[in-house]
Amino acid sequence: MKNTFLLLLLFFAFITCSEEAMAQSYGVRVEAPRALVRPSEEIISWTTRGEKLKKVELWLEDANRQKIEDLPLEGTKKLFFDGKNGYYIALRAGKQVFKRYGIQPRLIDTTEQALQVEKQVLVEGEELRYQWYQPYFRRCRLFLGDSVMIANELPNSYRNQLKLPAGAYTLRLECWNDDYPHHKLVSTVSVRVLREPSFSVEPVYLHSPLDSLNRPYVARWEVDSSLEVNLYRVNERLNYGYVRAGMPHNDTTRLASHLPAVGSIPLDTPSKHQVIYYMLETRIPSMQYAHYLYAKGEVVQTYKDTTKAWSFKVSINGQAVEKKANIEAFSGDVVRIEWQSKGYVRAAFFDPGWNAIEPKMPAKGRYTFIPTESGIYHFVFYDEEKKATGIPLLRVQKPLATGGVVKIEELPKQHRLHFQIIETDKSRYPEQISFKVVVTDSVGRFVSGLDAVPGKYFKKVIEEWQGKPAEYSILSVKEVEEDLLRPKVFVTVADYSGSMYGQPIIVQEQAIKAFIEAKLDADYLGFVQFDDRLRRTTHITQSRDTIAGTYRFAGLKEFGGNTALYAAIDEAVKMLEEMPGKDKYEKYIVLLTDGYENSSFAYWRTHAFDLKQLAIHAGKAGVKLLIFPIGEGVNFFTLSRLAELLDGLFFPVVNRYEQLKEVYRNVPRLLRRYYLVSFKPLRKDDWREFQLEVWNQVNTQRLRRSVATIPLDQLPKLDDFRAQEQEFVPSESKTAHLFNGKQVIVPPQVIVHFDYNSSKLLPQALPALDSYAEFMKKDPLVVAELYGYTDLKGDDEQQIKLSEQRAKAVFDYLVKKGIQAERIRYKGFGKAHPVWKEEKEPWQAAENRRVEIVLLR
C-alpha cells in the first residue's frame, strides 16, 4: 500500500510539473497602444512562440467575456477601442488555456491637467516651479506658447523650474508614444509674471522744535500694469506677520481705489509724532490673485527732544542707590522704585526675558518687588503715539558657588538661600527629566543637606498644559558630589571683537588667566579667540603648561574687528568633535562675550551662521553651553536662548574682574556639586516651559527652565527664535523691510567699512562681497537688502546721501558679479543705528562707517 501511494504522488507531481513547463514554453508578444486620447480604431500586431501551440483566440474583455474569433499564430488586426471594454488574446495547447494577454489601453481624460505649476502668478525674479506625471506616454516635450520649445525628449515624470521676465505666458506639454503619434496628450497652464512691486511712504522731517506738522505723508508705488491697485489706512498698530506673509489687515479704511500702476498721492497729515501704517492692495480678480504691501508714515526728528524726560529713585533693602540706570542687585533683594516722567503717558516694567511684570503703570508712581531671575530688567515709557523708550534699570545676579560648603543646620532659620538650575538632563525622557540645581548662601558657599527632608526645599514642578497649570510631584532629590578625578572637557570661546574695547577685554583676559591657574588636573581645556576671524589658540589638552604657553594675551592688538559669534561657537563644536575619545567625556563650551553677531555669514560654506544651525549642530554633538556675558550692551535675548536650547546656563551679567574671576574659575567645581531633582512630566514633544517651586527659607519662589523634549532639528520654535532675533528691539527694528513679504534668514551682517567721507570700496572688503555673491548665485530665491551708514560727524542730510552712495557701491559690485539687480535693494540711513553711540576713539567712528547686508527668502 505504501509503495502504491508513493507512486501516485510521483505521478501527480510529474503531471503538474509538465503543465507548468508547457505554460512557460508558450508566449505571445503584442504591439498595442497603451493610452488613447479619444475612442478610435487602432492596428495591433502579435507574434507567438511554442512548437505545440494549437490555437490563438481573440476575446472581448467585458462582463460576458465573449470570444470574437480564432487568430493565426502571428499577424495584425484593426480593433476599436472605446476606453470601456478591452480585449485579450488566449493561447491554447489542447483544451487548456495556458496564457492570457490583455489589451486594454487607457482612455485619457484630457480635461485633467497633467502639467501643474506651484503658482500661476509670480513676481519677477521668482522661479516658476512646474512638474508633471503621467504613466501612459513615454515621450514628452514642453513649449512656451505655441512655438518656443523649452525642453525635448523628456520622461513621463519630471519636475524643474525656470525664470521668466514680466509678462503673460502659456506653458504647453505634449506627450505621446512613437507607435501611435496621433494620440497625443496636450496639457496647458497659463502663468503671469508680475513686475517687482514697490511701495513706500515718505516721512515728515522735523529739523527743530519750531517746525510744524503741516505736511502730509506721501505714498509712492510702482507695480505691474496688469494689477488693480487700492490704497488703505491701517487703523491699528501693524503686526509684522502681515508684512512677511503679504496678508490683508482686517481693520482698514479705504483711501483710494483703481489707482494707476505707477503713481503717488498725499496722505494724512500727522499729529505730533504720529506713526500711521498704510496698506497697498494689488489684485488680479480674474485669477483670484491678491497681494498686500505695507509701509509706515513716521515723523523723523533730527534734533534732540527736550520735551521728554524721566528720573528714578531706587532703594535696595532700604538703602538708597545713587545710580540712575544699570543698578546692580541680587535675586531675593527687596527693590523699591520711584519714578517721574515728562512727555510720556504710561510706563511698563519687564523682566530679563521681556515678559511684562507690570504692563500698565502710570507715568509717575512707585513700585516694590523682589527679583527672582538673573539678567537685565527694563523700565519702558510710552508717549501718546505709543512710541517706546526703554531704560535698562536693574542688573540682577544670583550668588553662585564660589567655594566652600556649609550645612543647612549651620545657617540661621531666616537665612535666604539662592537656587540656580545649572543644567538639564533629558537622557531618561519620557520616564523623567532631571534638573541639576546649585544652592548657595549669601556668600556663595554650597548649602549641603537639603535632601534630608523630602518636600521641604524642593516642592514641585509646574507647567502650563492645555491652558491649565499641570503639577508634577518630585520623584527624588539627591545631593551629588562628583569625583574631581573624573575628566570633563571645556573649550572657552573668547570674544576679541571691537565692542570688547576697554575694560571688558581687560576683565576677560584676567579671568582667563585665573581659570587656567585653577584648572583641575583631570580636565581638558581648549581655547578659541575670535572677532570676524577664528583662531584656535590652544588645542584641547590636559597640560596646564601647554595652555599657559600657547594662549596669547594681547588685548585687541591682533583683533578688534567685527563679531562672527555663531561661527566661533561652531568652531569650538568642531574642536570637540575632533577630540579622540570624545564620547567618554561631558563636553562644555564656555562663552565670554557681549553677544552681538554681525559677521558669521562669511563662513557659510563651513560653519553655522545663525542661531538655528548652531543649536542643531551643537545639540547633535552633545555639547552644553555656559555663557558669561561681559560688557554694558549685552545681547540678553540671543545669549539666554542659546543657553536654554543647549541645556546649559546663562550666568548673570558681569563687568568686574573679581566677580567674573571667582565665578569663571570655579565652573569645573560648580558642575560637580549639585542637587539632582527628578520628576516625570506628561509626554509632549515640543519646546516646554517648566517652573521648579522651591522654599528659600524666606518665601516660596519659582525657577523657570525651558526644555526641548524633541530633537532640535525637528523643533518649529527654532524658526520663531530666529525671527525674533531679527525683530527683538523694543522701540524699532533695524531690518528695513525693503522687500515686503520676505523672511529674514541671516541677521544684519557688516559687509564693508569705509574711509572717512568716502564711498569707495576698500580692497580688503572684496573677498567678503564675493562670498555673498556666490551664495546668492547658489540660491536664486534669496534677495538682499543693503543698509548704508556714516559716522556721527557732519550734516544730517549730507550723511544720508553719503550712506546711500556707500550702499550703492556694494549694490554695483554685486550686480557686476552676476547678481540680478532686482534681487538687491539698498537704502542710506546716515547717522541712524550707530554701532557706537559715542565716538570717543577714531576706531569707533570707523566701525560706524559701514554697509550692512540682510539676506531674505
pLDDT one-digit tens code per residue, 292-327: 888 888 887 777 667 788 899 998 877 788 777 778
Query: Strand, helix or coil at 364?
Result: coil
Which grid coordinates are listed for 71?
A: 487568430
Q: With beta carbons less than 8 A apart as the criterion, state whether 789 and 851 touch.
A: yes
> Which segment of 197-201, 249-253, 347-351 scores lowest on mean pLDDT?
249-253
Pairing of the two strands 586-593 and 623-629: parallel
Which grid coordinates are listed for 680?
A: 516625570
Distance of CA 553 to the CA centre of its chain: 36
Confidence bin at 431 (pLDDT 50/70/90): very high
Residues in the chain: 857
CA distance 566 to 256: 47
CA distance 689 to 694: 16
pLDDT for residue 208 is more than 80: no
Q: What pLDDT shows up at residue 129? A: 87
CA distance 802 to 495: 31
In whole numbers, what is the pLDDT of the chain averaged over residues? 82
pLDDT in tens, 793-822: 888 888 999 999 999 999 999 999 999 999
Which grid coordinates are listed for 149?
A: 520649445
pLDDT for residue 843 is more than 70: yes
Report how far apart, in Å, the C-alpha atoms of 132 and of each of 117, 118, 136, 171 are.
9, 11, 12, 12
Confidence bin at 289 (pLDDT 50/70/90): confident
Q: With beta carbons less than 8 A apart as the criterion, state whether 400 and 333 touch.
A: no
pLDDT for residue 22 is more than 60: no
Phi, psi of 622 (to 5 degrees): 70, 30
Which grid coordinates are listed for 36?
A: 488613447
Per the rule left: phi > 0, alpha: psi between -120 and 50, beta: everything else, 425 is beta
Burial-class residue 288 by CB neighbours within 10 Å (0-12, 13-18, 19+): exposed
Cα angle 203, 206, 211; round to 5? 130
Q: With beta carbons less than 8 A apart as the criterion, state whether 736 and 785 touch.
A: yes
Q: Which amino acid, one-letter code, is at 580?
A: P
> Bridge-partner residues for 365, per DSSP?
339
Residues 6+ apart with CB under 8 A from 106: 34, 35, 36, 83, 136
Q: What pLDDT shows up at residue 245? A: 59
Q: Which amino acid, one-letter code, is at 84?
A: K
User: Within 10 A of 124 (CB to CB), how many other CB atoms are there?
Assistant: 18
Pick from 355, 446, 444, 351: nearest CA to 396: 351
Structure letter (DSSP) for residue 473: E
CA distance 378 to 373: 13
